[in-house]
Amino acid sequence: MTTRYDQIAGRSVERLAALSDGVFAVAMTLLVLDLKVPIAEVVHSEHELWAGLAALAPRVLMYMMSFMTLGIFWVGQQTQLNHLERSDRGLSWMHIVFLFMVSITPFSTTLLAEFTLYRLALVEYWLNLLLLGATLYVSWQCAMAKGLVKSDLPAEVQVAIKRRIVIAQTLYAFGMLLCLISTYWSIGFIVLVQLNYALGLKWGRE
């Protein structure tokens, strides 16, 4: 049963976008905290410093991959919010669940950076991506079903937003399955997918 409070709560798209910007900013900043400079006490030459920096390479790769991940999902969420006429309590909470998935991305990144060779760490990272995409898909589906999108939004745009999420999640799932061969193959493929979406490359319909 819908109450009067349900009818008035969570209607501001602008406030939801502001909260999202803040959560994304914090999550993207936390990613870099996993990059720690070599310990000064154990570095006594240029060669040792180079060796220390080289040892950071896997973590730098994870940082770049997850930074792109969050950037891509930020663009995806903002695209949805920009096409909303208004929000409601249910839709706002769906986006809050989405932001929860954003907030655990630094943990997933650190776990994968620490245990790169372990499939479980890669699967956990993929689950993070899956839940990000699933909540974003459901929130858009809900917005359309409730008539919260702008009335002048073309139907093909509504479909394109959902199709883009489905294609991305299919590619992520394929990347996850590559861990049966090697987790490095999985990571490399996911990075390529992220570069594709970050650079906006065209590979057929989107």
pLDDT in tens, the chain (206 residues): 455 544 444 557 788 889 999 999 999 999 888 777 666 666 667 766 776 666 667 788 888 889 999 999 999 999 888 888 887 888 889 999 999 999 999 999 999 988 988 999 999 999 999 999 999 999 998 888 888 888 787 788 878 888 999 999 999 999 999 989 999 999 999 989 888 887 876 654 44
Q: Which residues pair with 84 in a beta bridge?
A: 149
Query: In angstroms, what CA-CA distances link 198 with 25, 50, 75, 177, 188?
Result: 17, 30, 9, 22, 15
DSSP E strands: which ranges in 91-201?
Answer: none
pTM of the predicted model, to two decimals?
0.83
Closest CA to 102 of 137, 139, 138, 77: 77
Copy the structure tokens of residue 7.
């009818």
